[in-house]
A and B are shown apart, each in its own frame.
Chain A
Amino acid sequence: SQTIHQWPATLVQPVGSPLSLECTVEGTSNPNLYWYRQAAGRGLQLLFYSVGIGQISSEVPQNLSASRPQDRQFILSSKKLLLSDSGFYLCAWKSRTSDKTQYFGPGTRLLVL
């Protein structure tokens, strides 16, 4: 069966510090991968999605970036965090073949102070 991991689960960072959140998927090959953010009391905002290694689509211009160095690894980064980057970050995956459903990881809570 497929599983998706995210770490860390919780992160507290000062303004201006860098960020690296990691997501890995097991049990599937060549998945679509996604990064979402849920701000407090808000819906899910798509940040980036990837259909393959090195292929990243950005949905919202901001100080975040994403990379996909391996087939089942998706990384969300920032060089300098802003207060507004606080939120709940979710990674998700979807099969490129049969199942049309998107499955989410457990999330990372980021607090920028």
Chain B
Amino acid sequence: DQQVKQNSPSLSVQEGRISILNCDYTNSMFDYFLWYKKYPAEGPTFLISISSIKDKNEDGRFTVFLNKSAKHLSLHIVPSQPGDSAVYFCAASAFGNQFYFGTGTSLTVIP
């Protein structure tokens, strides 16, 4: 059973515009959420996280929003740059030991 879902396998955005990547989850016990960026043949790189006690966390061009009632989180990248082109994974954990990952969204930023 997929507890974390990324329903958009791919997304294309023009350089300078906003990229919005979405993620849905089913387990209400999740208390920590993360976004990772992954290039081919490399390990995922941690981008940004958010605790369930918050609804927004911002780090430079990256902002993560959490809507607990809808069990939905999103990653906003503004402005998008060609170097942002990668696969983005969302992940969630409950009590910190085990992490559940979505299937990823491939972002292409068009120059």
Contact = CB atoms under 8 A, between A and B. Distances in A.
B41 A102 contact: no
Interface size class of B (residues with CB under 8 A): 20 to 34
Contacts of A100: 32, 49, 51, 93, 96
A109 interface: yes
The 5 closest A-B CB pairs, nearest first, are A43-B103, A104-B43, A44-B101, A107-B43, A104-B44
Contacts of A103: 46
Interface of B: 32, 34, 36, 41-46, 49, 51, 89, 91, 93, 96-104
How would you classify the secondary structure of chain A's contact residues: helix, strand, loop or mixed? strand
Contacts of B45: 104
A100 B95 CA distance: 9
Interface residues of A, number: 23
Interface string A28-54: 000010101000001110100101000
